[in-house]
Amino acid sequence: MEIRHPSKTREKPNKRPSMQEVAEAAGVSRSTVSSVLNNRPDCFASQATRQAVRRAIEKLGYRPNLNAKSLAKGRSMTLGVALNGVNIDPVTRTFESFEFQARSRGYYTLATYSPNDAQIEASNLCWLEDRGADGVLCIPTEYGRHEHLLEMKRRGLAVATYDAARRLGLPIDDVSIDHFAGGRMIAEHLLSLGRRRVCIAQFAHLCWVVEQRIAGIQSVMREAGLPPAELLSLSVEAAPQGCWSDAGQREIHAFFDARRGEVDAVAAVGDIIAHGIGGVLRRDGWDIPSDIAVAGYDGSVLSASPLLPLTTAHNPADDAGRIAVEMLMEQMSGADPDRAPRQVELTPKLIVRESTAGSAASP
Amino acid sequence: MEIRHPSKTREKPNKRPSMQEVAEAAGVSRSTVSSVLNNRPDCFASQATRQAVRRAIEKLGYRPNLNAKSLAKGRSMTLGVALNGVNIDPVTRTFESFEFQARSRGYYTLATYSPNDAQIEASNLCWLEDRGADGVLCIPTEYGRHEHLLEMKRRGLAVATYDAARRLGLPIDDVSIDHFAGGRMIAEHLLSLGRRRVCIAQFAHLCWVVEQRIAGIQSVMREAGLPPAELLSLSVEAAPQGCWSDAGQREIHAFFDARRGEVDAVAAVGDIIAHGIGGVLRRDGWDIPSDIAVAGYDGSVLSASPLLPLTTAHNPADDAGRIAVEMLMEQMSGADPDRAPRQVELTPKLIVRESTAGSAASP
DNA sequence: ATGAAAGCGCTAACAC
DNA sequence: GTGTTAGCGCTTTCAT
């Protein structure tokens, strides 16, 4: 005679018990169970009632259905992250920081992954929204207009990007790394060591962040009255570790072999490629850094390799993750959606190691 | 005069439109919209109706609420992964493979992350279940009894582990790597090169997988009638890259300096530590591999470093990810939950590089 | 203090 | 072919 669908679905033996069943077992109503569970401020349940509820929960092994909960509440306490190329050090570190910051604010983090595929990334983003995330961070590593992010924002979702909205001119919160400044600090460092014949190692497939680094380097060269740095463009794929392949190593070898005695420094657009170049050069008999200084970029863990401790521009990923969470939190706390987007640009930090300035760097 | 809560919640301007609103706009009922959207086999909607629905969806920018959908269907088409220590190469690769395999079967992958914290891992797992994942894969990197996984399975969730249930004796599907065999193949390789004074580099904090590798190595030593390999136990943390720290390098230096001319091979329990050892040894003037052979483990990308191409035991992460998905799919397709758990053990693949067998390895 | 009832957005059986 | 209805499991308002 109960008013509403008394627990009649008891066919499946191992079904998760519902709140209704807990209520029945405790001899109270669903709403009481709900109040006790979320200990609402306006819940005046007696200690006896609370005990009964807790015991019933324990006995039945009750677990709340979070989908139902967020459906009813309109909030999920969940933040989504759309990752691209999970193996990329700054991405990983930003994600770890994001997760930590979200967790410490009571939010769970949901990550989706795309192997640097704009299609998949878009569908992941969409899915995170449809799944009920309260906010999403998009960490793209490639080009793409990302206009669907505007749609999401319009629908009321909290949205932020890493290294994207700012450069694309989208009115969306964004935390970026100032790669132009990063390039400059690397170049200034090299020049301060007396190096003059600098070259730049990059991949054929350029992207915005890399162009920025290169522009930063060239601006320093120009200001110093030096000719622009020559470019070594590898035809191999950047990830994963394409520059370490035989083909990549051959290209590196050919380039530097033709310039022996001419170049005295190389600024690579990433630590991985710097590491690879170091390997080839050493094998070819160059001494690092006396014959040639090698600088990386990103401050990835690889840059600390004892085989070639790399001077690098450390990506402040911890800050980036924290700021991204803060941006989302602000939006979720009902900030005016039409306010000017917060777009923060963080500056990398120069880490000097033996690959440019060392004494004990040679084997 | 509509039967049920006609779209009256139109206060918030940017709310996501509901299926009800689409139905109203298209002049049909909710169920018709639902049928068209999911194009059910028993949907006989006319082309005109379908058109109308599609136009309404387009116009309103309708997106389905997946939480509501899974609540109603009892399925979410979602697989969860509880990651630990996202920066660890085999973990990352297994995850990428898992995601790919899940996607190609129409499932989305949800990842949660814990920095190797059993507490957080358990809560993440729980959360994935409560959130409605149809199945979960747990990729732990540490000890822990993981008995809560049994509870989850009992509740009807599809559950699988990576390198866990098998060793813990839990009746749960598991895909593991045969690290004993991996240790053996490394040791056999070293002995086949004529090395006799092998030592093992590991971290103070042992875990099962590492113990297995070591046991594998020692079993080969024993069978060859050689004394057991000596152990270098670093007191630093394994991750991230603790063995590359100054403290780690000092310990490595001290150990080998005291054994110069005595040891002729080192088998490290991971590529990172092998790489670090290589760095210290070279700096100390050892030649690799003529003075000492260095072997890594895992087959991580780092093992391909041109600065020290490492012989290693490659972790078949692609297979592991695929098999994990298959296990979950089988469970989800209504396999008898009490059937014997499928526990697969994959064998690593030996990759021989210059750090043990090379000619051009020395700088 | 407690519980009935309506509702979150969707699905699916069954009438029409 | 299309619409009605009764859920999925939870929250929340409002009587009692």
pLDDT band at A359 (very low <50, low <70, confident <90, very high): low
A105-147 confidence digits (pLDDT tens): 999 999 999 988 889 999 999 999 999 999 999 998 777 778 8
Percent with pLDDT over 70 in chain A: 94
Whether residue B360 is predicted with pLDDT greater than 50 in this model: the reply is: no
DSSP, res B173: E
CB contact under 8 A, A283 and B306: yes
Q: Which residues of B touch A86 (CB under 8 A)?
A: 86, 92, 95-96
Q: What's the confidence (pLDDT) of residue A5? A: 37
Q: What's the confidence (pLDDT) of residue A255? A: 97
Determine the distance between B22 (CA) and C2 (C1') in angstroms: 39
Average pLDDT for residues B256-282, to the nearest whole number?
96
Q: Which nucleotides of D are covered by protein (CB under 7 A)?
A: 1-13
Q: Return the residue in B99, B127, B148 with the most chain A beta carbons within 10 A, the one to mutate for interface testing.
A: B99
| Among A9-18, A161-170, B104-113, B200-209, the least confident range | A9-18
The nt closest to A3 (CA vs C1′) is C4
> Any atom of strand C under 7 A from CB of A45?
yes
Q: What's the confidence (pLDDT) of residue B363? A: 34
Level-2 CATH architecture, domain B6-64 = Orthogonal Bundle (1.10)
pLDDT band at B236 (very low <50, low <70, confident <90, very high): confident
A 87-106 near B (Cβ less than 8 A): 87, 92, 95-96, 99-100, 103
Give me B142's structure tokens: 């540490």
Whether residue B314 is predicted with pLDDT greater than 70 in this model: the reply is: yes
Fold of B179-315: Rossmann fold (3.40.50)
Mean pLDDT, chain A, integer: 90
B199-232 confidence digits (pLDDT tens): 999 988 888 899 999 999 999 999 999 999 999 9
Residue B66: closest C-alpha in chain A = A131
Residue B86 sits at the chain A interface (C-beta within 8 Å): yes
Domain range annotation of chain A: 6-64, 76-178+317-347, 179-315
Q: What's the confidence (pLDDT) of residue A14? A: 59
CB contact under 8 A, B111 and A113: yes
What span, in angstroms and rounded, lies between the C-alpha atoms of A270 and A281? 17
Q: What's the confidence (pLDDT) of residue A3? A: 33
What span, in angstroms and rounded, lies between the C-alpha atoms of A6 and A65? 17
Neighbour tally for A250: CB within 10 Å: 12
Average pLDDT for residues B264-284, to the nearest whole number?
96
A 153-172 near B (Cβ less than 8 A): 154-156
A186-206 confidence digits (pLDDT tens): 999 999 999 999 999 998 888
Determine the distance between B21 (CA) and D3 (C1') in angstroms: 16
Determine the distance between A31 (CA) and D15 (C1') in angstroms: 14
What span, in angstroms and rounded, lies between the C-alpha atoms of B23 and B12? 20
Nearest chain A CA: its distance from B226 CA (Å): 31
Helices (H), B132-206: 148-154, 165-168, 179-192
Q: Could you tell me the pTM of the whole model?
A: 0.92
Q: What's the confidence (pLDDT) of residue B3? A: 33
Nearest to B302 by CA among B239, B250, B256: B239
Residue whose pair of structure tokens reads 């580099």 in the numeric block: B201
Q: What's the confidence (pLDDT) of residue A87? A: 81
CA distances to A114, B187, B196, B198, B215 from B222, rounded to whole Å, are 47, 11, 12, 12, 10
B137-146 confidence digits (pLDDT tens): 999 877 677 8
What span, in angstroms and rounded, lies between the C-alpha atoms of A68 and A62? 14
Question: Is residue B165 a contact partner of residue B197, using CB atoms and an 8 Å limit?
Answer: no
Whether residue A238 is predicted with pLDDT greater than 80 in this model: the reply is: no
Q: Which residues fall within 8 angstroms of residue A279, CB to CB, at 6 or more apart?
A: A244, A249, A308, B305, B306, B307, B308
Residue B301: closest C-alpha in chain A = A241
Q: What's the confidence (pLDDT) of residue B14? A: 59
Nearest to A56 by CA among A32, A76, A72: A32
Whether residue A6 is predicted with pLDDT greater than 60 in this model: the reply is: no
- Tell me whether domains A76-178+317-347 and A179-315 share a fold: yes
B61-96 confidence digits (pLDDT tens): 899 999 999 999 999 999 999 999 878 899 999 999
Average pLDDT for residues B108-129, to the nearest whole number?
93
Q: Which residues of A touch B156 (CB under 8 A)?
A: 12, 14-16
pLDDT band at B116 (very low <50, low <70, confident <90, very high): confident
Whether residue B100 is predicted with pLDDT greater than 70 in this model: the reply is: yes
Determine the distance between B34 (CA) and D1 (C1') in angstroms: 14
Task: Say how many CA atoms lie within 13 Å of A332 toward its Cβ.
Answer: 23
Phi, psi of B189 (to 5 degrees): -60, -45
pLDDT band at A361 (very low <50, low <70, confident <90, very high): very low
Q: What's the confidence (pLDDT) of residue A305? A: 96
Helices (H), A289-343: 317-332
What span, in angstroms and rounded, lies between the C-alpha atoms of A180 and A313? 11
Superfamily of domain A76-178+317-347: Response regulator (3.40.50.2300)
Determine the distance between B298 (CA) and C8 (C1') in angstroms: 48
Question: Is residue B297 a contact partner of residue B182, using CB atoms and an 8 Å limit?
Answer: yes
Whether residue A50 is predicted with pLDDT greater than 90 in this model: the reply is: no
Q: What's the confidence (pLDDT) of residue B39? A: 78
What span, in angstroms and rounded, lies between the C-alpha atoms of B303 and B353? 9
